[in-house]
Structure 1
Amino acid sequence: MLYTTYQVMDDIRVTLAPEVDRLYWRTRGQSIRKTGTTPSFGQAFSRATRRMSREPPVAGGAGTQRLEKYANHLQQWLGGQAFTREELDQALAVAGVAGARPDEGLQWLVLTGRAQLLPGVDMTGPAIRWRCNRCGAGGKWIRRGACAKCEKACAWCDHCIRLGKSRACTPIVLIEPASDPVAVDKVTSILPLLSDPQWDAASRCLDWLEEEGEELLVQAVTGAGKTEMMFPMVRRVLEEGERVLWVAPRQEAVREVADRLRRSFPEIRVAELHGDSGDRWVNQSIAAATVQQAVRFYHRFRLAVVDEVEAYPLREEQIWQFGVRRAIRNEGKRVYLTATPPKSWLNRARRGKRKLVTVPARYHGFPLPVPRLHRVWRLQHKTDRGRPIPVLERFLKEAIEQKGQVLLFVPRVTDTWRLLRWFDSRMPGLRAKCGVVSSRGGERAEMVRRFMTGEVKVLITTTILERGVTVPRCHVAVVGADHPVFDGAALVQIAGRVGRSAAYQEGEVLFISSLRTEAQLRAVRDIRECNRLARRKGYLSARRYAL
């Protein structure tokens, strides 16, 4: 495909469809002069002196009316989304939009200020300033080399390459939402009863929705029921005729929250977006998406709820926040949910730059289990040689006698097999009931399923299961808790696997290590402080409130 640049008055512009620009400017009494063509949109874009237009369409003949009708049709189906040029063709096929050539309708939207065309990678200035216009990455993520598409030296983004290549030679299409929101009288909802801390947090979130400020940090302990706290706010936004984006770090979390949203709002269609979903271009009022898929939206949502904001990849790659920010409208709001916020986030809230809502208690009103710390001299040597570790053996026997199940966390994948060999030597009767889960295991989902159904009594795992697993009769031990991979936040999350069910509060948390680390002490301090705050606020009860 060739991209054309032309001059009108004192401006140089780039176009997908020169005949559309010629017609557009003729209605304004202007003529255009072609200045060149190139197979690289990025090169054409760099020559332009005027890259956007804000003028409304002018009444004209049949050609103008045809283009306006088709452009409105495109915006109705595709508004509020971001596409590469190849993705736009896929989206049109899904939507079944027919009529004039898509480039003509798209160019009409650009000319009338309802869409933007940007190069996939902006190569303006020195290489250190090059940036991907889809995900916002720059610097080390931008690669340069020969391109078969434009047959020139080109740049592409490695950061979001799993979504398809974002190149300098092809455009990113950003289309504004089609219409203003229309309020509805009532949204049918089936919402759960809320406990005292949940209700207080939900009320404060509803108040914040009407206040100034773009960001809200909700710090809630593990098992507090953060998702349910957000539902009253989601309902309020839907009743205003607006849309909601729910962002989660993992596919499993997206599937779970999408199912809960469908059950709670049975008349609202929920789009589910992750690497294995088919809802990529579905236009719905609620979208549940992984952080990577959020880059597919543009000014679409009034509210974005970012769940587990401290988890990978948001914790390691803040770049993904670019997609979340661009997905919401200019006056939209963002809520960040976390049990273990970074200190910088808390400091920002204390300085008044981000509002903070704290939920120090679980929904069932029982206190958080406080970990017990045990030092075992030469712990790794004993596991490798099959030597006795009395505290671990006693912990396992008591957990099984109470008809419980055990999550054993270790720092490295190789440690999972070390611990299995230790079971062979020290507790052979329990070895047959053990399973292993790690990032290298090919049957992770099946092993987790067997653990959830009770077939497996002891599951040895790395930090891959530090969140997202709820087992009613769970006990937890961290073997090698002094390893750097177990920072304070990870240990708090791991301890949070215990005591999540109101029916079983006998579960214990054990940190076993050769050394006592600051991370272990900090995790214990944080958990105790939450229990003290919950007790002081009177949250350690089990009252419920209907919505």
Structure 2
Amino acid sequence: MQELWGRKVLKREIETIKNIEKKSQKLLTMQEVSEKTIQCLRCGQIHSKNTVQLVTEHYYCPKCIQLGRVDTSQKFYYLPEPTPVKRTVHFAWDGTLTDGQQAVSDDLLASIKNHESRMIWAVTGAGKTEMLFKTIHYSLECGYRVAIASPRVDVCLELFPRIHAVFPEEPAILLHGKMEECYRYTKLLVCTTHQLLRFFHAFDVLIIDEVDAFPFVGNQLLQYGVKQAIKKNSSLVYLTATPTKELTKKTDKNELKTSILPARYHRRILPVPKIKWCHQWYKKIKKGNTPKALVAIIHSLVIKNDVLIFCPSISLMEQLKGAVEKKFPEVALACVHSQDPERLEKVLKMRNKEYRILMTSTILERGVTFDGVSVIVLGANHPVFATSALVQIAGRVDRRMDYTAGEVWFLHDGCTKAMKEAIKQIKKMNTLGIERGLIDDM
């Protein structure tokens, strides 16, 4: 019955459990809000009864149907999380934190001990994961249940082996929509934020990584899932390099404690994007041509580093690939996007230096690290490149200890507020890092 601890699931999801009717609690799947509306108790969304009524006269929820249809003829099966029991947990990390990282780690641990929530606002490449280790270890030894959730599957896939390596004897599970492994109860798990919709009062400590990322940001459904997944006396931790306005307002009002780390562990400034005018870049690529400004910058960058080129659309990227191949016939290159079945293989090949140029959609804006890369944002003035996206993209450069003189370029034909704000944020963090003595002179 451990599979039901801290979970509320439909009967068809747990058919292998014997005597389920006698041993578990039953919870409503939906409840009436008014005479005309009904609310799903898995995702929290409220619907007009007229739009979600079935021929059986029951009501269903279309918003979270990808997790299996919920309707009023069903019940959720649930068992409460057992009382935490202190234990010994093997901790296999022998690394050291910088002074800045240590201060954040100490702040976070203090919040967990006081059952408080906290935001960690740390620049890209600051080593957020390493700052979590001490807190996760303490929590597990207290008998707490700990989850690290991210909106992006790619981030979860990269994060899980790193967490598992630090706690090699601790049973852990990775949950996402395409997983083949059957669910099992563990005290430590990594999951996508969608998977939190299956949990109920489960976690003593819930860490949301990339809290500003799509699809979590502004998503009421996923934020309802977070509130349902944590216990009443718990700690919610937000990790971000680009906090949302909602979170910064809470910080300003002292409603949310916040730790800011404005510098990376290698004590160098964040690369500040350079702006380059690229006349009618969209029209030129659509005609099968490569803009001269783009060709010139690729020539200058590829001498020292591999190059990531971020494109505003998949169709444009595929057209650009053919044009760039004509200009650089001897350079190994590829393009990748969220619907690419070879996405993971291409990312690995880029890491292994089998490609010198990788064109990508915003799928690689966060959660991935490459050695020795420079970045070009083609059409940085396109609406798809919001301020947070541009900051994250710029953060792909100079993440390792060895310096490779990587550069960031914004190519545009009309500078936007998002571009200016991204550069302003990066410069602000550099200034703050210097003021705190966390950055060395270059």
What's the TM-score, normalizing by structure 1? 0.76
The one of 170, 185, 196 equivalent to 2:99 is 196
Contact persistence 2:4–2:77 (CA under 8 A): no
Task: Tell me the distance in 2 between the aligned counterparts of 1:141 and 1:202.
Answer: 48
The one of 82, 85, 90 equivalent to 1:182 is 85
Q: Which residue of 1 aligns with 2:317?
A: 416
Q: Which residue of 2 aligns with 1:122?
A: 31
Equivalent position amino acid for 1:362 in 2: R
The one of 501, 507, 510 equivalent to 2:406 is 507
Contact persistence 1:466–1:493 (CA under 8 A): yes
Task: Tell me the distance in 2 between the aligned counterparts of 1:397 and 1:201.
Answer: 41
Q: Which residue of 2 aligns with 1:5?
A: none
What is the total number of aligned residue pairs between the two structures? 441
Residue 432 (structure 2) pairs with residue 533 (structure 1): yes
Q: Which residue of 1 aligns with 2:54?
A: 146
SS in 1 for 2:58: strand
Contact persistence 2:151–2:216 (CA under 8 A): yes
Shift of 1:105: 2.6
Matched-pair identity in %: 31
The one of 29, 35, 40 equivalent to 1:132 is 40
Task: Tell me the distance in 1 between the aligned counterparts of 2:393 and 2:361.
Answer: 10
Task: Tell me the distance in 2 between the aligned counterparts of 1:478 and 1:141.
Answer: 46
Task: Tell me the distance in 1 between the aligned counterparts of 2:395 and 2:49.
Answer: 35
Q: How does 1:438-477 map to 2 (within 5 A)?
A: 438-477=337-376
Shift of 1:299: 1.8
Equivalent position amino acid for 2:22 in 1: E
Residue 13 (structure 2) pairs with residue 104 (structure 1): no
Shift of 1:186: 5.6
Equivalent position amino acid for 1:192 in 2: G
Task: Tell me the distance in 2 between the aligned counterparts of 1:393 and 1:121.
Answer: 57
Task: Tell me the distance in 2 between the aligned counterparts of 1:442 and 1:490.
Answer: 23
Q: Which piece of structure 1 moves more, 454-463 or 392-401? A: 392-401
Shift of 1:280: 4.8
Q: Which residue of 2 aligns with 1:319?
A: 221
Shift of 1:77: 5.4
Q: Which residue of 1 aligns with 2:15?
A: 89
SS in 1 for 2:270: coil
Contact persistence 1:218–1:356 (CA under 8 A): yes
Q: How does 1:257-296 map to 2 (within 5 A)?
A: 257-296=159-198
Equivalent position amino acid for 1:104 in 2: K
Q: Which residue of 2 aligns with 1:487?
A: 386
SS in 1 for 2:236: strand
Q: 1:394 to 1:228 in 2, by over 3 A?
A: same
Equivalent position amino acid for 2:74 in 1: T
Task: Tell me the distance in 2 between the aligned counterparts of 1:168 and 1:83.
Answer: 14
SS in 2 for 1:272: strand
Contact persistence 1:273–1:280 (CA under 8 A): no
Residues 65-111 of structure 1 deviation map (CA, whole Å, 9 limit, x = unaligned): xxxxxxxxx4x553222111222324x2xxxxx5xx331233xxxxx
Equivalent position amino acid for 1:429 in 2: P
Shift of 1:388: 6.6
Shift of 1:290: 1.0
Task: Tell me the distance in 1 between the aligned counterparts of 2:146 and 2:285.
Answer: 49
Shift of 1:330: 1.1
SS in 2 for 1:156: coil
Task: Tell me the distance in 2 between the aligned counterparts of 1:102 and 1:347.
Answer: 45
Q: Which residue of 1 aligns with 2:65?
A: 161
Contact persistence 1:300–1:327 (CA under 8 A): yes
The one of 254, 258, 270 equivalent to 1:356 is 258
Q: Which residue of 1 aligns with 2:4?
A: 78
Q: For the pair shown, which has the larger CA radius of gyration, 1 or 2?
A: 1
Equivalent position amino acid for 1:423 in 2: V
Contact persistence 2:111–2:235 (CA under 8 A): no
Q: Which residue of 1 aligns with 2:233?
A: 331
Q: 1:275 to 1:380 in 2, by over 3 A?
A: closer
The one of 426, 429, 437 equivalent to 2:329 is 429
- Which 5+ residue runs of structure 1 have no aligned equivalent? 1-73, 93-97, 107-114, 543-547
Shift of 1:450: 2.1
Q: CA RMSD in A?
A: 2.2
Equivalent position amino acid for 2:334 in 1: G
Q: 1:386 to 1:282 in 2, by over 3 A?
A: closer
Q: Which residue of 1 aligns with 2:246?
A: 344
Q: Which residue of 1 aligns with 2:75?
A: 171
Contact persistence 2:173–2:186 (CA under 8 A): yes
Equivalent position amino acid for 1:132 in 2: C
Equivalent position amino acid for 1:487 in 2: A
Shift of 1:191: 4.7
What's the TM-score, normalizing by structure 2? 0.93
- Which 5+ residue runs of structure 2 have no aligned equivalent? none
Contact persistence 1:299–1:328 (CA under 8 A): yes
Which is bigger in relative contact order (C-alpha 8 A, separation at least 6)?
A: 2
Q: 1:165 to 1:512 in 2, by over 3 A?
A: same
Equivalent position amino acid for 1:196 in 2: D
Task: Tell me the distance in 1 between the aligned counterparts of 2:324 and 2:120.
Answer: 41
Shift of 1:470: 1.0
Q: 1:361 to 1:88 in 2, by over 3 A?
A: same
SS in 1 for 2:60: strand
Residues 488-524 of structure 1 deviation map (CA, whole Å, 9 limit, x = unaligned): 1110011011111111331000000101111111111
Q: Which piece of structure 1 moves more, 528-537 or 193-202? A: 193-202
Task: Tell me the distance in 1 between the aligned counterparts of 2:33 and 2:246.
Answer: 32
SS in 2 for 1:293: helix
Contact persistence 2:333–2:357 (CA under 8 A): yes
Residue 153 (structure 2) pairs with residue 251 (structure 1): yes
Task: Tell me the distance in 1 between the aligned counterparts of 2:287 and 2:134.
Answer: 55
Task: Tell me the distance in 2 between the aligned counterparts of 1:479 and 1:262.
Answer: 37
Residues 142-201 of structure 1 deviation map (CA, whole Å, 9 limit, x = unaligned): 952435xxxx212211222121111111011232123x2122356434253212221111
Task: Tell me the distance in 1 between the aligned counterparts of 2:264 and 2:229.
Answer: 31
Task: Tell me the distance in 2 between the aligned counterparts of 1:249 and 1:364.
Answer: 28
Task: Tell me the distance in 2 between the aligned counterparts of 1:143 and 1:307.
Answer: 35
Equivalent position amino acid for 1:125 in 2: S
SS in 2 for 1:468: coil
Contact persistence 1:385–1:422 (CA under 8 A): no
Q: 1:441 to 1:189 in 2, by over 3 A?
A: closer
Shift of 1:424: 4.6
Equivalent position amino acid for 2:249 in 1: N
